[in-house]
Structure 1
Amino acid sequence: MKSIRKSTALFEPFAMGTIPLTNRFVMAPMTRSRANEKGAVPNDLMAAYYEQRASAGLIITEATQISKQGMGYARTPGIFTKAQIEGWKKITQKVHAQGSKIFLQLWHVGRVSSAQVNGLQPIAPSPIIAKDTNVYIFDGAPNGDATFIPVEQPKAMTTDDIQQVIQEFKYGAKNAIEAGFDGVEIHGANGYLIDQFLRSNTNHRNDQYGGSKENRLRFLIEVTQAVVKAIGAEKTGIRLSPFIKFKDMDDPEIMDTIMLAASALNDIEVAYLHLCEADWDDAPNIPIAFREALRQRFKHTIIATGNKTPQTGNDLIQQNLVDLIGFGRAFISNPDFPERVKVGARMNQITDTHTLFGGGGAKGYTDYPKLP
């Protein structure tokens, strides 16, 4: 990867509302499944992993379930017990000691789950199973690999279920602040519960949470309002994925819905809107017209993540289309990714994909070298 010394936007400090960041690199949330299987508790290995990568101006943690019901994959961490809070405290302390800021991503998977993962039938806006969608468990497969299993039929959430989950997001946010996080990111992307409410193909409800775009937005807005009331708008971010269709989530109305959401979230004055964009090699380019329209509707910080090089990230910042750039896989194998970009150093490559989700413990997790 070539040096980008001539274009330095990524290395500039940035004020994300009231939160100062040392640079505009964001370590994007990535599920790695290294939490303790018993109790979904963050551990010392995870603390070492995040500490290694704290040269990012902002770290957004891996998705973290707000309840046992919200869990969809094995060995993912939670934020709903005292032991989990204490585990996360070790991580926030180490990251802060390196000068970075860290937000916890709050997660409920909705229909993307199985009783083999958490012992519970999945819940969703409507009882529609996600086609061709898998989750994973660890059952002694060779090399410690995850075993992928199909999701199960969800049950439709009652109004009481909806209110319960809103409260779980609220208490997850409060627990995150107790654990020392600078804020939280509400996961409204990638086909999980909030995204399931947003989309017409997964939300067939005929009450106040379904039907019109405005009604399908209601769950997202009520979750956001509850979190903001609990910890403050300046500590609350939202992640959305308008261009992603996997997990059987292709909705022809999603772009209009996202624009309505952006206006509503702007009015709530959340700290940021995080766009999860496609990250495969031949991913479609995001139209500039979309970015310009979003900037008009949302006046606070915008983060873009997905298939970005440092140079394309710089260009988007300099065009005032986004403020921060998220990098995912680059941070997996390059714990000092910003420094490598700055000096034009060679990048480490991911050497073993078996280690991405749980397999190998420290291998492929904390053993990638930094620059000498």
Structure 2
Amino acid sequence: MIDPFEPQLLGATVPLKNRIVMPPMTRTRTSDGDVPNAMMATYYGQRAGAGLIITEATDVAPSSKGYASTPGIYSEKQLQGWRLVTDEVHRKGGTIFVQLWHVGRMAHPSLMPNGEAPWGVTEQTAENSDVFAHGEDGKLRYMRAGAPRRISTDEVSALVGTFAQAFANAWEVGFDGVEIHAANGYLFEQFTNSVHNTRTDRYGGGSMEDRTRFLMEVVDAAMRELGPGRVGVRLSPFGAYNSMPEDPLAEETFLYVCEQLARRGVAYIHVLYQLLPRGNMESAEFKELHVDHAVLAKARAAFPGAIIWCGGFTDLEKVQAALDTGLVDLVAMGRPYIGNPDLVERLRNGWPLVVADRSAYYTRNGEVGLTDFAAYSKAGAGVLCCLD
């Protein structure tokens, strides 16, 4: 049996305390200007017992924003806010990567600079998917993603530079590394999906190399800024979230990407199996663990770095079973980390887990549902539930 609690070394440079990862979870708690704040620093610091913390998805530019109250990493105030977070996590002995994204077509004009259209690989709208944005009355609500405009070849190339600056900013404010969000139907996957990407330029869908070119150029930029051991990529092969069409080349693309990431010395791939294609992040559910082990074995053979497995892990038994396949190195537990800031210690000691009510996930009521879950205490059960 593989011990979930044994220390690991990510790449050759980043020590992890155990094999249990806190994956990215959007929590919509930023201050004005999409600025990370002291409350968020407390939240992440409380969970520093994870082997690796990966932050909520973070915008690399104003054009990358698809959901209200998600953080950015491009303004000076945002950088100051993230420094609060990394300092607190490191003070608690934790390791933290920032997940960086561009949502592409998964946005609404009310969140875009000057009310412009979302940036799309094509003009195809995500017709059955919602974003969290401002309605005509100015109030925040879930609404359908806006009609995108197809961005030009030059704009795609320029985005590589935008990501490179975000990587430099992440290093400046003390992150131990970065994760590139190439999953869940956001911009990178909009390029790599062979059905959706109907472009005819050098980022077009005509060949595997062209469809994955943008992702690989961004990965190369990350490796230049951060070096080995500090770059990860999240992938969701076979996913249909955010209205992504079924891709007959999904497995072929996934394995090609794994091979290319291996050549570049990427520290890990973070494999998500998989969100159901519902309307928005509040209603999303993970399918039960149904992964085709044969596909995962092919990825394992193609990629010598670490593989993180995410999707529906709710208890130690499932974590242990995943590790014992020998196909993955780390396991990500998302929702259990909401109500259990001391999740690793609870698992290690067999202490009961809090199941946070779904209404806690995205509430805008300050600390409620974010930092008000207590660590376990034998003297009083220590099971503080945040909401009725």
TM class by shorter chain equals over 0.9
For each residue in 1:243-262, what CA deviation from the matched residue of structure 2 results, as whole angstroms up to 9, or x when unmatched?
32121112221111011000
Distance in 2 between residues matched to 1:122 and 1:161, nearest whole Å:
13
Residue 139 of structure 1, CA deviation: 6.8
Per the TM alignment, residue 146 of structure 1 is displaced from its structure 2 partner at its CA by: 5.1
Alpha-carbon offset, residue 290 of structure 1 = 1.0
SS in 1 for 2:242: coil
Q: Report the equivalent of 1:3.
A: none
Q: How does 1:17-28 map to 2 (within 5 A)?
A: 17=11, 18-28=13-23
Is 323-332 or 277-286 further displaced after alignment? 277-286
The verdict on how the C-alpha distance between 1:286 and 1:336 changes in structure 2, with shifts beyond 3 A counting, is same
Residue among 344, 358, 365 paired with 2:370: 365
- Deviation track 1:150-202 (CA, whole Å, cap 9, x = no partner) reads 11111111111101111111110100000100000001000000010000222
Partner of 1:354: 359
* Separation (CA, whole Å) in 2 of partners of 1:282 and 1:273: 20
Q: Which segment drifts farther, 80-89 or 201-210?
A: 201-210
Matches within 5 A, 1:255-266: 255-266=251-262
Match of 1:199 among 189, 193, 197: 193
2:282 matched residue in structure 1: none
Which stretch of the first structure deviates more once superposed, 228-237 or 321-330? Answer: 228-237
- What's 2:53 paired with? 59
CA contact (8 A) 1:146 1:358 kept: no
**Pairing 1:270–2:266 present:** yes
Residue number in structure 2 paired with 1:9:
3
From 315, 318, 328, the counterpart of 2:321 = 315
Specify the alignment match of 2:311 in structure 1.
Answer: 306
Identity %: 39
Q: In structure 1, what is the equivalent of residue 384 of structure 2?
A: none
Which amino acid letter does the alignment assign opposite residue 326 of structure 1? A
Paired residues of 2:346 and 2:353 also in contact (CA < 8 A): yes
Q: Is the 8 A contact 2:104 2:187 kept in 1?
A: yes
**Matching residue within 82, 88, 99 for 1:94:** 88
Pick from 345, 351, 358: which aligns with 2:351?
Answer: 345
Q: Within 5 A, what are the aligned runs for 1:128-147?
A: 128-137=124-133, 147=141
**What amino acid maps onto 1:158 in structure 2?**
S
Q: Whole-Å Cα distance in 2 between the matches of residues 8 and 367 of structure 1? A: 33
Kept in 2, the 8 Å contact 1:9–1:318? The answer is no
Q: Tell me whether 304-313 or 21-30 shows the greater mean CA deviation.
A: 304-313
Distance (Å, rounded) in 2 between the aligned partners of 1:281 and 1:180: 32
Unaligned residue ranges in structure 1 (runs of 5+): 1-6
- CA-CA distance at 1:58 after TM superposition: 0.4
Secondary structure at 1:69 match in 2? helix
**CA distance change for structure 1 residues 347 and 101 in 2, over 3 Å: closer, same or farther?**
same
Contact 1:75 1:358 in 2 (8 A): no
Secondary structure at 2:57's aligned position in 1?
strand
- The amino acid of 1:304's aligned partner reads W
TM-score scaled to structure 1, two decimals? Answer: 0.93
5 Å matches for 1:106-255? 106-118=100-112, 119-137=115-133, 147-210=141-204, 211-249=206-244, 250-255=246-251
Letter in 2 for 1:317: L
How many residue pairs are counted as aligned between the two chains? Answer: 361
Q: Which structure has the higher relative contact order (CA within 8 Å, separation 6+)?
A: 1
8 Å CA contact 2:273–2:311 kept in 1: the answer is yes
Deviation for aligned residue 1:284: 5.3
Rounded to whole Å, the distance in 2 between the matches of 1:124 and 1:338 is 40
SS of 1:136's partner is strand
How far apart in 1 are the matches of 2:65 and 2:116?
A: 9
1:289 is the counterpart of 2:283? no
Q: Is the 8 A contact 1:35 1:75 kept in 2?
A: yes
Bigger drift between 340-349 and 312-321 goes to 312-321
Structure 1 residues 281 and 21, CA gap change in structure 2 (3 angstroms): closer
The 1-side partners of 2:363 and 2:220 are apart by: 34
Moved more, 131-140 or 353-362: 131-140
Given residue 354 of structure 1, which amino acid in structure 2 is its aligned partner?
A: S
SS of residue in 1 equivalent to 2:270: strand
**In 2: Cα distance, 1:58 partner to 1:243 partner:** 25
Could you tell which deviates more after superposition, 187-196 or 123-132?
A: 123-132
Residue type of the alignment partner of 1:272: Y
Contact 2:238/2:247 (CA < 8 Å) preserved in 1?
no
Q: How far apart in 2 are the matches of 1:120 and 1:73?
A: 15
The secondary structure found in structure 2 opposite 1:275 is strand
Report the TM-score when normalising by structure 2: 0.90
Structure 2 stretches lacking a partner, 5+ long: 276-284, 378-388
**Partner Cα distance (2:359, 2:141) in 1:** 11
